């Protein structure tokens, strides 16, 4: 190897060493940046988890608050409907026993039935039961709930009343357009608030559905939704 070749080799090795050192420094710099980025990411992730936890807490708190407000408004609506239903069920349908917020359980207490207003004739002259579902705002689900309550009454209601013909009433403060017809088409009476009083709102040709599961005792059923005894033939 000539002196020139040796010099060139040494120079090449020196350049290579310099490049290697540069690359090592660059790698170290990038590694530090990566560690800093990971540290910042971890910090942001912890902040995000804390934010999500706080958001979940606020949603739960607000949901409970909204639920409490809704329940209170619902109870307020039921309380406002009670005197109207007492008058309506008593005067129009002849019911002598009217109970707000009636609660019933199955024998094993695994099922519960709550009725907003229950009306019947304690004198057993009229063999009928009126079940009223009260809603602050009427929805299709509310109509379904009224029908389910009627169906469940056969199993969970008082044994002395289960044989009676049942009629359903939906009383609502706010009734979206079209749902009034849905109520009456399904055979339920509809009552709407007017001047702080719930009044029946049904078409003239309305025929309520009589929910009959067993033949009522002879001589006690009038076969009508109006709660009036049959007229004797003369």
143 token code pair: 């109509």
Distance CA 9, CA 224 (A): 116
From start to end of 94-223, where are the E strands? 97-105, 112-120, 128-137, 165-174, 189-194, 197-200
Residue ranges of the domains in the chain?
79-200
Residue 223 CB partners (closer than 8 Å, separation 6+): 165, 210, 230
**Number of Cβ atoms within 10 Å of the Cβ of 77:** 21
State residue 116 phi and psi, 5-degree precision: -60, -50
**How far is residue 144's CA from residue 104's CA, in Å, rounded to a whole number?**
19
Query: Given 3.40.50.2300, 3.40.1350.10, 3.40.50.300, 3.50.50.60, which CATH number is that of 79-200?
Result: 3.40.1350.10
Helix (H) or strand (E) holding 184: helix 179-185
Sign of torsion over alpha carbons 159, 164, 168, 169: negative
Burial of 82 (0-12, 13-18, 19+ CB in 10 A): buried
Per-residue confidence of the chain (234 residues) as pLDDT tens digits?
677 766 666 667 667 777 777 777 787 788 888 888 788 878 877 887 788 787 777 776 665 654 444 444 445 455 567 788 888 899 999 999 999 888 999 888 889 999 999 999 998 889 999 999 988 889 999 999 999 999 999 889 998 998 899 999 999 888 999 999 999 999 999 998 766 678 888 898 999 999 986 544 454 444 344 444 433 333
Phi, psi dihedral angles at 194 (to 5 degrees): -150, 120
- CB-based contact 85:117 (threshold 8 Å): yes
């Amino acid at each position: 190897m000539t002196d020139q070749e040796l010099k060139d080799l040494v120079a090449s090795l020196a350049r290579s060493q310099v490049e290697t050192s540069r690359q090592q420094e660059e790698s170290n710099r990038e590694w530090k940046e990566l560690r800093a980025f990971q540290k910042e990411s971890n910090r942001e992730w912890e902040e995000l988890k804390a934010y999500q936890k706080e958001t979940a807490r606020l949603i739960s708190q607000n949901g409970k608050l909204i639920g409490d407000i809704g329940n209170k408004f619902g109870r307020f609506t039921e309380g406002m409907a009670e005197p109207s239903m007492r008058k309506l069920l008593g005067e129009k349908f002849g019911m002598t026993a009217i109970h707000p917020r009636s609660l019933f359980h199955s024998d094993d207490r695994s099922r519960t039935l709550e009725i907003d207003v229950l009306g019947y004739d304690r004198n057993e002259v009229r063999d009928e039961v009126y079940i009223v579902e009260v809603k602050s705002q009427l929805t299709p689900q509310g109509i379904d709930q009224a029908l389910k309550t009627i169906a469940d009454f056969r199993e969970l209601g008082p044994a002395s009343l289960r044989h009676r013909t049942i009629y359903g009433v939906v009383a609502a403060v706010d009734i979206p357009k079209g749902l009034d017809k849905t109520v009456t088409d399904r055979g339920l009476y509809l009552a709407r608030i007017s001047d702080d009083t719930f009044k029946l709102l049904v078409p003239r040709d309305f025929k309520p559905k009589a929910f009959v599961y067993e033949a009522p005792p002879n001589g006690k059923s009038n076969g009508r939704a109006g709660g009036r005894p049959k007229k004797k033939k003369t």
